[in-house]
Structure 1
Amino acid sequence: MIDGTKQSELLSTLEKLKKDNEVIEVRILKTDKGTISGYFDDHDSLVQAVKKYIGKYDIYITLNPVKKELLARCKNRLQTYAKTSSQDGDIERIQKILIDIDPMRASGISSSEDEKKSALELVKKIRKDLMEEGFSEPVVADSGNGYHMLLAVDLDNTKGNVEMIKAFLAALDFLYSTDKAQVDVTTYNPSRIVKFYGTKACKGDNTTDRPHRWSKIVKVPAQLNGISQSQIQKIAAKKPKEEKPSKKVAKGKTLDVNEFIQKHNLDLAYSAAYGGNATKYILGTCPWNSDHTDNSAYIIQYDSGGLAAGCHHNTCSGENWKSLRDLVQEDEVTSVGEEEKQSDIIIKLAENFQYFRNDIEEPFVAIQKNGHWEVMEMKSQKFKLYLTKLYFEHTNSAPGSDAISQALKVLEMKAIFSDDNDERTLQKRIAEEDGSFYYDLCDSDWRVVKVNEEGCWIEENPPILFTRNRNMKEQVEPDFAVQPNQLFDLVKKHFRFKKHSDTVLFTTYLVSCFLPEIAHVILVLFGEKGAAKSTTMRMVKRIVDPAMQDLLSMPTSKSDLAIVLSNNYMPCFDNLDTLSAEKSDMLCMAATGGAFTKRTLYTDSDETILRFKRSVSLNGINIVATRPDLLDRSIVLELERIPKSERQSERTIWKSFEADIPKFLGAIFNGISEAIPQYDETELEEVGRMADFTYWGYAIAEVLGLGGDEFRKAYLSNQDTANEEALASHPVAAAVIALLKNTSNWSGSVSSLLKELERTAERERINTRVKTWAKDANVLSKRLKEVKSNLEEIGIYYDIRHAGDFKKITLEKHVEMKQEGGTGEKALHRPLHDEDDDYDFEEDLA
């Protein structure tokens, strides 16, 4: 029997994983009364029915919803010696995919603690990698002996979809299974049963070393979002394709892969069973590219005699068993001396290039072409192709892939360990050196605009400052005859803001985007349908950082967002509804400068560092930036809906705008040149949250003829509006404001304050079913800290002190708060979004 807490846990499992009235089959295997089975659409009846079997047998439930007519077999009760159970055709839809990760051990026994830990390490790795691929966060569960991940889907129960899931699991097995833990490839069938989390796993005898353990759900995301077929297919495509060996072998014999590996001196890291019908041999060093020393290359031998080979790296995407066989056979007839000669020739051909490293120790090369320097990343495919081109032009033959790899190692060594300690900070689009600002025009001659207090001009042979990517687009030449005081009229001609103060603020902001190495404010555009939000953002991008793909959708994963921020000087995210907490934090970091580290693909310890300080912009029908830290770093501008009588065709709008871009640029660069000495002399008593932007904005507004004080007034007013939005979007702040509406102070313990705020929230109908609400007293302190500066802006202060055996908190209101239409009312009634909160996955799995 189980206690009330366990019953609640079982009901919670059903609530989290199953929909109301969904039909579930319970199945208990290998009992003294045969298979016990029953069908349930009532959760309470299900829990009551299984209670007496918990701790005696393993108890399972169907993963996917069973057709409702099967209730007639045994409705809301269990039957012993069951003759029938759910088959694949009895499943209504496929709504979950089970990734079952089990430690390797003998069958019929529970896992040891060390064995179970190996499954834990594997589930963390797979979860992290899938989320970096854009997968929604899965449910994670402890099965008692291993770990499960449940991915939400919504698929028809068809043979094609089942085969797709089968290939998906086989690919995960291939990519991640080791000799210690493996992905179960058999859980693809729609009628799959899964552990009823909250019951006990009872494999074998219950011993000290291999105990029976309680299963449990470890993590359920705030919102269980589904993954798409294309995401599943992308992973499934990584499953190796079986190839038949072209060389005939005697009947009943197959190629001895171990002998093949030894004969050709391939670097075998380990071998393991794969997919139930094959053996995989993981190579420590890739035979096609010796730079890949991260167990990314493989050979697979199937029981049928078929073979497969390849490497996970993109640069080896075309390699297979045939190319491996051809490679090792070629090595047998190619002498070591000839191979070394190829690499030596390549090194000699590249000896006059400039080699250096950037500030995070990545190797770069500068190649002189037609009187200017072009910069390439040494690990890029472009540089490898350039070396191949040099060798082909010199010898009229192709170099071996290993020769390119050997030469690259030597050249990268020259860059990293340069005798003259040549380290340079490379930027995209905008840079600063020796007191001058530089803007990369991204043309084929690598020309730049140089700006300092003496003026601005195009520099034909600039210092090595920039790196580029394929998305960056060439900028037009500025018209330097246009003066700074003409910029405001250009802005009014092409942009429509509701308020004059917003137009002043935007004009100043536009110039500030061209300033390197300052903390940039985030531009947040909003407005009703027909306010030209996307067109406005596209125009801003065209002026500042023209690109092939100008507007971006918000990536689903944190790592993908980091890549976008790293690759774009001005990333513009279009048509947003909401922003999660972690993405808001990433954008904050992008505004003020920071770095994101991630494990380099197919390595255990190497890190890829993505560094950025960016000028970010966002747009949406509503204000999408709602978290206090993000709003503190933003300017929020409302666009005016364009009347029908004034609407023009896209072609007409862009023709006029493109004609004025040289004028925009000329006015901006001249404005920066004149603002530099003004900035050095500017002293202000009050500045906004973004201090650099306040000082530079003041200087810029002065030279534009807008007036520094007019700019500062517009910026501080905009920040007040942003502060109201931050408070309106935070349920704890809303409840505090409501609590102090009719009193000037409150004092008591933190736990009593939480109870008081809960009562206030219920009375004022503030949404507490969001992650930003405080569930306990410890979290309340954290939530208050998040909005401390915002509350102080409207005159609310708090203090927490130890008072014996509890923490005492005092709230004080120092100014009269607005009652109608101001911060208090807005904060009480604004709808709140359910956002992700910070979550310590390893702590929950401990």
Structure 2
Amino acid sequence: MSDDEKTPAREIITEYAQSHFRYFRTADGTVYAQRNGHPVARPIRSQGTTGSHRQELMVGLYRDGVGVFNGTALKEALDLIEALALTEDVQAVHIRVAPGWDGATWLDLGRADGRSVRIHPTGWDIAVPDPREVCWRRTQLTGELPLPARDTDGKGIDLLLRLCNFATAQTECLAIAWLIGCLEPSVPVPAPFLTGPQGAGKSTGGRMLTRIIEGMSGDLRRAPKDEENLIAAVAAGWVTALDNLSHMTPDLSDAMCCIVTGAENVKRALFTDGDVFRARYRRPLLLTGIDVGVIRPDLAERLLPLRLERPRVRRTEAELWADYAEALPVVLGSLLDLTVKVRAVEVETPTDLRMADFAHLCAQLDAATGFGSLAAYRAALDDLNDDVIEGDLLAQTVLRHAADVEPGTAQRMTSTEWLHHLTRLYTGEECRPLPKGWPTTGKVLSDRLKRLQPTLAARGVLIDSGRTYEGRYIEISRSPAAPPHQQQTL
């Protein structure tokens, strides 16, 4: 056969690839390859160590006796496949948890055979999902979960609570509610903040909660130094657990707010002049630490404090994790059983809490089990409001002003007038110096009061703003039925 009659290598590769793989694109234009009948999808441009599609294709060509091809032929074939895939229908890829058909939810067990858990309205099953229903994306952070045990009769929940050192029953039911929320891809859940005295096992408890969802390879990590690295870590897994936080910068606090409720990051794509790369993310977040200092009001509404206590009996790490690994299939099975039971309950959604989806989940859990998780969640948020006020002298000053106002009455001034009034109230007759961070202009004061609005509203102090012909104004009033905690000392 002459050279002109030979089939070009790129055509051989393209024909083999299209007969053994399914190619599709996501909403951001990334093209993925999915082996026929298998739910795991890999981006065709990935060079990752978890196994790129290029490597997968080379191995398949070799093992099926098609041949070994050079890099140029592979590149030309993949370029053509990518161009063809851009005309296909859009399909989403998911990490660990995904919505399915008919109201079902899928949990990726991270197994090589693709078997996953399908949680549906009448129960849960273990199956390999239809690739058209679910496409899993795997990374180095995707650990393998054991096959969950059946007919546990709730024993796994008891085993988990014995292994963790939660201080109260209220803390235990909040931890369970958070775990159930992690199995729902459409529900934003607040970030558990594991606190307690030194030696209470905060890091160990954080690992135990994380590994129920991420497998035994799931672990805690130090907070990245910048937002870009934090987003990269968040995008590569489902649960992001940060250990031993001792300080939280404003940028890190804002980034955590975005992680919990969802946001999008856009940056320039590598090796291009004008193209961009989009990353959407909303992930369960878990934090541990003794004290992170001043908590900003917007983050406080997205936190879930879980207090631990020092264990009475110490155990070795080897013994503890051996028992945990043995109990994990039962724990996971019990959690799935409880999730099905909770989702079947219909309750009204509380409308006074910012994380309304999680509050609704707590109400469902209470109706299904008799727990008091919603009341515990309200109490936890109330404690966090106290922490915010204790760390913010401006909030304390506003509460001091409100204490001298008749309930139901309002006072309206410009932001500059409020700045002078609150500054005089803080400095007092002794003219003490203003603290670092005190507002220096009316605009800064207005912005600070907007952040403090929900925190102060929980203490019966309402802040409103508007505009008249004279200009902008800020109105501070005291609600007729002001709750306790009104009087704050400076």
Give the TM-score normalised by structure 2. 0.89
**Alpha-carbon spacing, 1:547–1:732, altered in 2? closer, same or farther (3 Å):** farther
CA contact (8 A) 1:455 1:673 kept: yes
- Matched residue, 1:690: 355
Specify the alignment match of 2:18 in structure 1: 351
In structure 2, distance between residues paired with 1:817 and 1:741: 12
- 2:34 is paired with a residue whose SS is strand
1:767 Cα offset (Å): 6.7
Gaps of at least 5 residues in structure 2 are none
Bigger RCO (CA 8 Å, 6+ sep) = 2
1:573 equivalent in alignment to 2:242: yes
- Tell me: CA distance 1:804–1:691, structure 2 relative to 1, closer, same or farther (3 Å): closer
Query: Aligned letter for 1:735?
Result: T
Secondary structure, counterpart of 2:32 in structure 1: strand
- Equivalent of 2:325, from 658, 667, 671? 658
1:559-608 Cα shifts (integer Å, max 9, x gaps): 11111111110000111112222322222222222221111123222111
For the pair 1:715 / 2:377, whether they are aligned, the reply is yes
What are the Cα deviations for residues 768-789 of structure 1, in whole angstroms up to 9, with x where unaligned? 323xx42211121111111112
**Within-5 A mapping of 1:652-801:** 652-678=319-345, 681-684=346-349, 688-703=353-368, 705-707=369-371, 710-744=372-406, 746-763=411-428, 768-770=435-437, 773-801=438-466
Q: Is the 8 A contact 1:584 1:625 kept in 2?
A: no
Tell me how far 1:627 sits from its aligned partner: 1.5
Cα pair distance change 1:796/1:415, threshold 3 Å: same
Secondary structure at the counterpart of residue 471 of structure 1: coil
The residue number in structure 2 matching 1:365 is 33
SS in 2 for 1:597: strand
- Residue 672 of structure 1: CA displacement? 1.6
The superposition leaves residues 20-53 of structure 1 with CA deviations (integer Å, 9 ceiling, x where unpaired) of xxxxxxxxxxxxxxxxxxxxxxxxxxxxxxxxxx
1:653 is displaced (CA, Å) by 1.3
Identity within the alignment, %: 25
Q: Following superposition of structure 1 onto structure 2, how do residues 516-555 of structure 1 map, counting pairs within 5 Å?
A: 516-546=185-215, 548=217, 550-555=219-224
Q: Distance in 2 between matches of 1:809 and 1:687?
A: 23
Query: How far 1:614 moved relative to its partner?
Result: 0.8
SS at match of 2:29: coil
Shift of 1:687: 5.1
Q: 1:602-621 alignment to 2 at 5 Å?
A: 602-621=271-290
Cα distance change of structure 1 residues 387 and 339 upon mapping to structure 2, 3 Å threshold: farther
Maintained 8 Å contact 1:528/1:621:
yes
Distance (whole Å) between structure 1 residues aligned to residue 286 and residue 416 of structure 2: 40
Q: Structure 2 residue aligned with 1:378, among 34, 44, 47?
A: 44
Distance 1:512 1:443, change over 3 A: same
Pairing of 1:417-566 with structure 2 (within 5 A): 417-418=87-88, 421=89, 423-434=90-101, 435-463=103-131, 464-484=134-154, 486-546=155-215, 548=217, 550-566=219-235
1:604 partner amino acid: D
C-alpha contact 2:460 2:486 (8 A) present in aligned 1: no
Q: Is the 2:190–2:358 Cα contact (8 Å) retained in structure 1?
A: yes
Contact 1:512 1:697 in 2 (8 A): no
Count of residues paired in the alignment:
474
CA distance 1:395–1:356, shift in 2 (3 Å): closer
Aligned AA (1:682): V
Q: Which amino acid aligns with 2:140?
A: R
Whether the 8 Å contact between 1:761 and 1:768 is mirrored in structure 2 is: no
Q: What is the alpha-carbon distance in structure 2 between the residues aligned to residue 656 and residue 802 of structure 1? A: 63
Task: Confirm or deny: 8 A CA contact 1:347 1:407 kept in the other structure.
Answer: yes
Cα displacement string for residues 332-391 of structure 1 (whole angstroms, at most 9, x for unaligned residues): xxxx989992222211221211111123221101113xx644321111121122233344
Measure how far apart 1:538 and its partner are. 0.4
Instruction: Report if aligned partners of 1:442, 1:472 keep a CA contact under 8 Å in 2.
Output: yes
Matches within 5 A, 1:155-194: none
Alignment-derived partner of residue 108 in structure 1: none
Q: What code does the residue aligned with 2:290 have? A: I
Contact preservation (8 Å) 1:448, 1:462: no
> SS of the counterpart of 1:359?
coil
Shift of 1:510: 1.9
Trace 1:223-242 onto structure 2 (pairs within 5 A).
Answer: none
Shift of residue 552, structure 1, vs aligned partner? 1.5
Residues 444 and 512 (structure 1 numbering): CA distance in 2 closer, same or farther, change over 3 Å?
A: same
Deviations for 1:802-832, whole angstroms, at most 9, x for unmatched residues?
A: 45545443322235565xxx47547x4xxxx
Secondary structure, aligned partner of 2:18: coil
What aligned pairs does 1:190-201 form with structure 2 within 5 A after superposition? Answer: none
Q: Contact (CA 8 Å) 2:398, 2:422: kept in 1 or not?
A: yes
Equivalent residues of 2:395, 2:456 under 8 A apart: yes
3-state SS of paired residue (2:193): strand
CA spacing shift, 1:767–1:571, aligned 2, 3 Å: farther
